[in-house]
A and B are shown apart, each in its own frame.
Chain A
Amino acid sequence: MWKYVKMLQYPVNIKNKDLQMAKYLVTQYGGSNGELAAALRYLNQRYTMPDEKGKALLTDIGTEELAHLEIIAAMVYQLMKDATPQELRAVGLGGHYAEHAKALYPTDANGFPFTVTYFATTGDPLADLQEDMAAEQKARAVYENLINLTNDPDVIAPLSFLRQREIIHFQRFKELFEYYKAKGYK
């Protein structure tokens, strides 16, 4: 089971409204390389990991990704919260406003809604772990793209934190992958 802790893993206090950035950033909420896809991918793959190490690591990284989902959600919420419908319309978020007003809704940066096809699972631990290593690298690259799209330190600081987490997760998946490969798991 999971228990809620009433804090963000890393602080988010964004002072300046930036709707364009909210529109890009939402991809880490509901895009193919986003935190929701990552959390569900790992929490879905953990059942068929062959030993205790894999069950633990997939559970623990999946759980941390849920905390990252909350950081991204807080950022999108804060960037958008003071927007008027006209301002949303001006940056191409009129469709979002029509459907959801200012509620959060997981899509990618182009408005494409979240889909479960993002969390590939094969039941083959080596294939799944390589998928996860690639997912962490792709998420790191997207964080770099997002950092390149803003000058606001209130936005860059949490994005840099999240980017480092992708590097650590990649390392841990790689260690487990090499261990499983050496053990001859298929």
Chain B
Amino acid sequence: MNLYYNPLQSSLTNIPISNQKQMPIDSQTGFIRGNLFANLYEPYLRSEPFPLKPINQRESLLNKVREYDFALVELDLFLDNHPNDQEKIQLYNQYLKQSKQARQEYEQRYGPLSLNSDWLNTYPWGWLTPPWPWEVS
């Protein structure tokens, strides 16, 4: 982990350790549940969610991007409240690497996901590559 001066560190006190129980589960299960933390998971009617059924390779690669990005969202919201949890910061950076790799893999085959993608030097302009997110894949 990079060590650098963090001006927040001096002003933030540790929260009572409610966070010790909040251990993240694996990103794949967390993603299909919509909840990365086992102790916060409260299912409704069904004990487990529907498994993802990607209908093609594109959707399957996109689900990997979604999975790692989801772990990033969860860890970020956790870290906003618990900024001194070093393990979660390391985990965040691990998922960040995996998210970038999954993006590269998707984008080189199926086109850019964002306007700062490495795959925009194409002719014609690759941003128009379908499908758009609301279209059935």
Contact = CB atoms under 8 A, between A and B. Distances in A.
Interface residues of B, number: 49
A164 B41 contact: yes
B15 A179 contact: yes
A160 B50 contact: yes
B114 A74 contact: no
A171 B40 contact: yes
Given A14-B136, A70-B134, A147-B45, A161 B112 contact: no
A175 B40 CA distance: 13
A51 B83 CA distance: 13
Given A3-B114, A3-B115, A64-B73, A53 B50 contact: no
A176 B81 contact: yes
Interface string A148-186: 000001001100111111011101100110010000000
Contacts of A172: 77-78, 80-81
Contacts of B66: 7-11
A11 B52 contact: yes
Contacts of B63: 11
Contact of A57 (B11, B12, B46, B80): B80
B5 interface: no
Contacts of A73: 134
Interface residues of A, number: 46
Interface in B95-137: 112-116, 132-134, 136-137
B34 A7 contact: no
A118 B68 CA distance: 32
B65 interface: yes
B126 to A, nearest CB: 11
Interface of A: 3-15, 51-53, 56-57, 60-61, 64, 70, 73-74, 77-78, 143-144, 147, 153, 156-157, 160-165, 167-169, 171-172, 175-176, 179
Listed from nearest, the 8 A-B pairs whose CB atoms lie closest are: A164-B34, A161-B34, A74-B134, A157-B50, A164-B35, A57-B80, A56-B80, A175-B81
Given A9-B73, A171-B40, A176-B81, 6 more contacts: A13-B137, A53-B80, A61-B77, A143-B44, A165-B35, A168-B34
